[in-house]
Amino acid sequence: MIPWLLDLTDTDSALRVLRYVTVRAAVGLALAFIVSLVIGGPLIAALRRFKMGQPILTITHRRDAIDLSEMHGKKAGTPTMGGLMILFAVLVPALLLCDLTAPIVWLLLALSIGLASVGGWDDYLKISRRNARGLLPRYKMLGQVVLGLLFGLALVLLPDAFQPAYHRTVPVERARAWAEAWGRDVTLLVPEGETLPIDAAEVERWQEHWGVSVQPTSRSVVAPGGEPHLSLLVRGYEHIMVPFAKDLYPDFGWLYILWVAFVIVAMSNAVNLTDGLDGLAIGVTTMAAICFAVIAYIVARPMLARYLLIPAVPDASEVGVLLGCLIGAAFGFLWFNAHPAEVFMGDVGSLMLGGILGGAAILLKAELLLVIVGGIFVIEAASALIQIGGYKLWGRRIFLMAPIHHHFEKRGLHESKIIARFWIIAALLALFGLATLKLR
């Protein structure tokens, strides 16, 4: 909203600093943190008053199952649904500081609200029924899948002006293969005053047969080694950026919608599984959000993206501002969620956080980097799947308890030590994720 209001004010006003993305992200972080602190205490008091306490899973029908209440029984009754604090603390500064003319801002906000609604309904059922069994898994999964499919469909249908563009200068044969394979996604850049290494008849054939567009450019084509090269722009969210590979940019077509749904569902559930110790999920989320905020700053600048051989994403800077708001809200929530926690985020928070991280990675063309940057989430989810698979296949458990943070608890490590070590690993993975942008 503020960027729009600035267009109506004097450009010499002191408020002009809010035109800078970095300033808006920093202000969003500070404002979200303040909002969290202001509403945190009253929200926790209200949750206690309405008896919105967290039930702890208790197993009574299987003798070989490990009862979570053995370790965390003293946490029963701690107020849950604290994710509402995060949601509100993100929405207020985001609506004030983001450029609301950017469609990807609305898409990411809608996804986060939708997943928060699914998680909130699950939390409500757990509390109202006084047990840890909330929304039936199939209905919970259905809600996540539907939101993921809608998010993917919206990205595919965005106008070309809002689609990411991957600028590459490649040998003529590779350019010809890309043009034939991707057609309308490809724009041939023609340097002014220079002769192309292909004749006008072939250019016309590319346009007529494959739907390639032609665009003049003032930039010269630098041909490494003297080999004839062409400069291309490949547009579209349907293409996937592969870490470490500068020339591998596969096109998923309409299957991309399913890919987006998979990423959203996987990430939201991975964060949900990680949310088992005080401050663990929110701390790891913060590390990942900082990493993706830096990536947003990079891909919003075509020159920098071109240098790093990664796609440039229109309005990506607004995703960075929103992630700044998320970081501030996460700090504010951690104020209350640090061990021993005064409030839990609940599914309303964990599904939303996973959705924001997954959605931001998709928007920034960095979804495969989630495996690295969100490595803790991947390990937590994988440990749960391995545990289930091992029990079904061999009738035995691979870990003492899953997800894996409970395994370390059963081995005698204190909760605080597990959290601190996971945070350290998350920070190192985030740094490595950023390094991969140059290792191509």
What are the mean pLDDT values of the chain's consecutive 10-residue runs (440 residues total)?
A: 59 71 95 97 93 64 53 73 96 94 96 97 86 82 98 95 91 91 92 83 92 85 71 93 88 95 98 95 98 97 93 96 98 95 95 98 96 97 94 90 93 94 98 93
409 lies in a domain? no
The gap between the terminal CA atoms of the chain, to the nearest Å, is 38
Residues 260 and 152 placed together within one structural domain of the fold: yes
Does some domain include residue 48? yes
- Residues 133 and 33 both lie in one domain: yes
Cβ(59)–Cβ(67) below 8 Å: yes
Predicted confidence at residue 121, as pLDDT, reads 94
C-alpha neighbours within 13 Å on the C-beta side of residue 283: 22
Same domain (yes/no): 273, 326: yes
281 and 144 co-located in one domain:
yes
* 3-class secondary structure, 33: helix
Contact between 143 and 118 under an 8 Å Cβ cutoff? The reply is yes
Cα distances (angstroms) measured from residue 333 to each of 85, 133, 206, 374, 407 = 7, 25, 54, 20, 26
Whether residue 148 is found in the same domain as residue 266: yes
Number of domains in the chain: 2
> Of 370, 385, 403, which one is at a domain's C-terminal end?
370
Is residue 195 domain-resident? yes
Measured distance CA(105)–CA(58) in Å, rounded: 41
Is 299 among the domain residues?
A: yes
Rounded CA-CA distance 262/265 in Å is 5
The angle formed by the CA atoms of residues 277, 37 and 122, to the nearest 5 degrees, is: 50
Say what the pTM is: 0.92
Question: Does 62 reside within a domain?
Answer: yes
Predicted pLDDT at 61: 46
In a domain, 281, yes or no: yes
- Residue 2 in domain: no
User: Please, are residues 311 and 164 in contact by the beta-carbon 8 Å criterion?
Assistant: yes
pLDDT, one tens digit per residue, over 381-399 is 999 999 999 988 898 889 9
How many angstroms from the chain centroid is the CA of residue 354?
7
Classified as helix, coil or strand, 21 is helix
134, 265: one domain:
yes
153 and 40 co-located in one domain = yes
Q: Are 106 and 151 in contact (CB under 8 A)?
A: no
Q: Are residues 265 and 169 in the same domain?
A: no
- For 263-283, b/e burial (b = at least 16 CB within 10 A) is bbbbbbbbbbbbbbbbbbbbb
Identify the CA nearest to 368 among candidates 247, 234, 262: 262
Q: Do residue 136 and residue 109 come from a single domain?
A: yes
Q: Which of 235, 269, 287 is the last residue of a domain?
A: 235
Residues 228 and 272 in one domain: no
Is 333 within the bounds of a domain? yes
Task: Pick the last residue of a domain from 354, 370, 386.
Answer: 370
Q: CA–CA separation, 96 vs 53, rounded Å?
A: 33
Same domain? 345 vs 360: yes
Q: Give the type of residue at 134.
A: G
For the record, the structure tokens of 61 come out as 């029908």
Reported as a single tens digit per residue, the pLDDT across 302-316 is 999 999 999 999 999
Are 228 and 299 found together in one domain?
no
The CATH code of the domain that includes 226 is 3.30.1330
Range of the domain at 178: 165-235
